[in-house]
Structure 1
Amino acid sequence: MGSLSTWAALATVLLALECFVVMLVVGALVFGLKFGMDWVLRNTVAGFRIANDYFARGKALLERYEARIAAPVVRARAAWYGLQRARRALTHEK
């Protein structure tokens, strides 16, 4: 077998290699996250701008169609309450 100093040197080399591999893995993760976040920030601004335009168009269309759908209902309700007030006025009800 070998002496104790040989085993200690071998353990030191293996520990140094393990630390080097761990540092490479951590460095790769940090590097990947940094470039990934840069890519996301670069590309999502344009995507959010496009989505914001579509949301504005959708909101305008919804408001227009909502007004078209709700207008007859509002007019009918106003006419109904107007007729009720006229009936009460003619019959002197409160």
Structure 2
Amino acid sequence: MRFAVVENSSDPVSVEDVEAEARRRLRYLKLDQWRTREFITGRPMPEVIQHLAQQIDLASRAISRMSPIPPDFYDDVYWPRMWEVEFSPT
């Protein structure tokens, strides 16, 4: 069983907040470095990286459409699992 602390916030969560969290997760995935490596070397980025980037994008869109957007939208419960992947584009 999982418990979460719900904070009372007077500020509603915006779509921009969700998009910022998605960008943070894509930075952690090192998506820009993978794209640069692909452009320079011609070697495609691994499918697992492409798939995770698509999942992050889909999660961002789904969370942004919620009404209201949950105040804990940044919680891993709403996003794809990323801890099993090697992120080094070298």
Q: Shorter-chain-normalised TM-score: which range?
A: under 0.3
Normalised to the residue count of structure 2, the TM-score between the two structures is 0.27
Bigger relative CO (Cα 8 Å, ≥ 6 apart): 2
Normalised to the residue count of structure 1, the TM-score between the two structures is 0.26
